[in-house]
């Protein structure tokens, strides 16, 4: 193993990590806002990837251009899911937590089933996108362009999210709802509206990630499952509910995954992530940046 | 201004207030007094929309407001400061105040009540960057009242503002209530500390086990021999 291989691995790990962070951001945002774990998060990613795929196939829109539209479509989708499903799950008279788990889990199964029915279980891919398959060399390190762009999009999205939450009125309303959803009505804020926008934002973030992923990953109805699992680990690492913890968690997961692949056979590359995850759960159960 | 007509509110079948009617006229300070568990909090919660009355009506400025979602009642001009204050603990004092003016857009509209708030509670101005949770009980109550004023209400409802606060600050808060009324607002205040509150109130109602036991001007209630014996300990 040479220094060059190590740098190469860590660089691609970092890029993937930023993308993992972007995938996990929406999960963390929604959990932080209302203590609901969205078990259909991976299916949101799947829908985003298919949306990108169909925009490409039917309208010849390159995934890079499609990304903002996919994010916008997912924004609407997320808000509608809140209004039609989650809102009612939260009204349960007893055992609300359990009802929410089953509601989002059921949603995941429904979405996967519908995708298999309408989109068929075939593996699809976008082979001729502008960036797909390209690599560039920076100081002897070869980096795949789609992942590089994905990392840039992730950085931009987290920066925008930071300013949105810290500097705008609606961001302040989000923070207040996160603190005490029962109290925002005292200042005339409709918590259901904040929740709906929160779901929309969370879905839009995973929508961005999906559009990027569609450039270099197969698209099929179960594609969300493996990435959702990584997203849960990312969110737990960063601290449940902390959006910026998800950012750090994503980078850690990406780097650990790349390092594991260096020392263990490729089929065991996920071992590292879960080992680190278990370590964090044992030593610091609230996650690295969690404040629960 | 506010007219509550025969409202009954129950929690899981247990009736907390039964056919209670009260009137609040513009510019008044009205006190609702009574022992613990008499239903005082339930009454203001039912007006604010935090609880839904089972029957009866609540009319504010000629319009029915019972049954409206709580945030819409706030938007109609009723600010409610609950017993446990419900501040946003990890947000700064400044952010808590800013959230109070969330419904308004223009800078002038949003900041109009700030002068009054800082004039009454200068401590808040000194602690703008502090998290709300780091304030003392009295300061938290001031912030809760300040946040409520930022919604620019016509009616301010306070539930036990003196609870858990050191005596010196209680006077400050009661003085503030008077100042607030002098700016043209109307105040409905729920209190157990009847003696101090009767000094600033115009009229008072006494609730007992969910029903109105007595009502009158502050002077009438304060002079009533039964009240003096049962509630004022005189």
Q: What is the pLDDT of residues A116-166, one digit of tens each?
A: 999 999 999 998 888 888 889 888 889 999 999 999 999 999 999 999 999
Chain B residues within an 8 Å CB radius of A32: none
3-state DSSP percent of chain B in helix, strand and coil, to 5: 40, 30, 30
Handedness of CA A239, A240, A245, A248 (dihedral sign): positive
Q: Report if residue A288 sits inside a domain.
A: no
Closest A-chain CA to B133: A179
Q: In which order are the strands placed within the sheet that holds B55-60?
A: B14-24, B2-11, B55-60, B63-64
CB contact (8 A) between residue B74 and residue A188: yes
Distance from CA of B221 to the nearest CA of A (A): 31
- Those residues whose C-beta lies under 8 Å from the C-beta of residue B60, and which sit 6 or more positions away, are B1, B2, B3, B73, B76, B77, B78, B155
List the single best residue of B87, B95, B98, B102 to mutate versus A (max A Cβ within 10 A).
B102
ipTM comes to 0.92
pLDDT at A291: 59
Question: Are the Cβ atoms of B88 and A191 closer than 8 angstroms?
Answer: no
Among chain A residues, CA nearest to B49: A185
Average pLDDT, integer, range B112-122 = 94
Is pLDDT at A2 greater than 90 in this prediction? Answer: no
Please tell me the distance in Å from A249's CA to the nearest CA on chain B: 23
Q: What is the mean pLDDT of residues B6-22?
A: 92
The answer to whether residue A189 is domain-embedded is yes
Within a domain: residue A291? no
pTM value surpassing 0.95: no
Which has more confidence, B139 or B227? B139
Instruction: Write the CATH number for A199.
Output: 1.10.3470
Nearest to B90 among A179, A186, A191 (CB): A179
Minimum Cα–Cα distance from B100: chain A residue:
A187
Tell me which chain B residues have a C-beta less than 8 angstroms from the C-beta of A93. Answer: none
Per the structure, the complete domain to which residue A255 belongs is given by 3-283
Size of interface A-B (CB pairs under 8 A): 67
Higher per-residue confidence, B226 vs A153:
A153
pLDDT, tens digit (0-9, with 9 covering 90-100), for B18-30: 999 999 999 999 9
φ, ψ of residue B27 to 5 degrees: the values are 85, 0
Res B205: pLDDT: 96
Distance (Å, rounded) from C-alpha A38 to C-alpha A58? 30
* Chain B residues lying within 8 Å of A186, measured CB to CB: 70, 74, 79-82, 86, 147-148, 151
Q: Are B66 and B21 in contact (CB under 8 A)?
A: no
Query: Rounded CA gap, B165 and B173, in Å?
Result: 10
Q: Which residues does chain A have within 8 Å of residue B100's beta carbon, measured at their own beta carbons?
A: 187
**How many distinct structural domains can be found in chain A?**
1
- The answer as to whether A289 is a domain residue is no
Q: Backbone phi, then psi, for B54, in 5-degree steps?
A: -75, -35
pLDDT at B232 > cutoff 80? no
Of B71, B82, B89, the CB nearest to A188: B71
Does any CB of chain B come closer than 8 Å to the CB of residue A136? no
Contact B169, B141 (CB under 8 A): yes
Give the pLDDT mean for A160-187: 94
Across chain B, mean pLDDT equals 93
């Amino acid at each position: 193993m040479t220094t060059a291989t190590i740098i190469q691995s860590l660089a691609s790990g970092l890029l993937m990590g930023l993308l993992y962070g972007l995938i996990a951001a929406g999960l963390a945002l929604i959990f932080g806002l209302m203590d609901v774990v969205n078990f259909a998060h991976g299916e949101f990613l799947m829908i985003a990837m298919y949306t990108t795929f169909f925009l490409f196939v039917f309208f010849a829109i390159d995934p890079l251009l499609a990304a903002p539209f996919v994010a916008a479509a997912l924004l609407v989708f997320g808000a509608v899911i809140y209004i039609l499903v989650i809102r009612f799950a939260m009204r349960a008279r007893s055992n609300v937590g359990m009802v929410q788990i089953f509601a989002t889990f059921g949603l995941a199964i429904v979405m996967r089933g519908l995708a298999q029915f309408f989109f068929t279980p075939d593996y699809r891919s976008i082979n001729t996108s502008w960036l797909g398959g390209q690599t560039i060399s920076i100081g002897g390190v070869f980096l795949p362009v789609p992942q590089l762009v994905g990392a840039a999009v992730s950085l931009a999205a987290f920066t925008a999210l930071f300013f949105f939450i810290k500097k705008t009125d609606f961001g302040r309303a989000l923070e207040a709802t996160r603190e005490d959803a029962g109290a925002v009505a005292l200042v005339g804020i409709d918590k259901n509206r904040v929740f709906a926008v929160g779901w929309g934002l969370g879905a839009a973030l995973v929508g961005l990630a999906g559009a990027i992923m569609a450039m270099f990953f197969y698209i099929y109805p179960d594609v969300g499952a493996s990435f959702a699992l990584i997203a849960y680990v990312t969110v737990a690492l960063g601290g449940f509910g902390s959006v910026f913890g998800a950012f750090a968690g994503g980078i850690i997961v990406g780097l650990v995954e790349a390092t594991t692949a260096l020392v263990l056979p490729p089929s065991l590359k996920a071992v590292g992530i879960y080992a680190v995850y278990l370590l964090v759960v044992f030593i610091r159960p609230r996650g690295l940046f969690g404040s629960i | 201004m506010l007219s509550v007509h025969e409202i009954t509110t129950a929690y899981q079948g247990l009736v907390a207030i039964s056919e209670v009617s009260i009137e609040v006229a513009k510019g008044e300070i009205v006190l609702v007094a009574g022992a613990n568990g008499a239903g005082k909090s339930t009454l203001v919660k039912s007006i604010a929309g935090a609880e839904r009355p089972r029957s009866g009506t609540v009319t504010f400025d000629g319009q029915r407001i019972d049954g409206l979602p709580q945030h819409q009642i706030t938007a109609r001009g009723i600010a409610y400061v609950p017993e446990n204050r419900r501040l946003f603990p990890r947000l700064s004092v400044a952010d808590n105040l800013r959230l109070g003016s969330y419904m308004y857009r223009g800078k002038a509209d949003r900041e109009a009540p700030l002068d009054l708030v800082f004039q009454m509670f200068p401590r808040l101005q000194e602690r703008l960057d502090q998290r709300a949770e780091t304030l003392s009980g009295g300061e938290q109550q001031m912030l809760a009242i300040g946040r409520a004023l930022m919604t620019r209400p016509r009616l301010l409802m306070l539930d036990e503002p003196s609870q858990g606060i050191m005596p010196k600050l209680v006077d400050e808060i009661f003085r503030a209530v008077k100042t607030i009324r002098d700016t043209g607002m109307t105040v409905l205040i729920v209190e157990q500390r009847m003696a101090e509150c009767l000094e600033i109130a115009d009229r008072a109602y006494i609730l007992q086990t969910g029903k109105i036991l007595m009502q009158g001007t502050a002077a009438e209630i304060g002079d009533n021999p039964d009240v003096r014996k049962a509630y004022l300990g005189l």
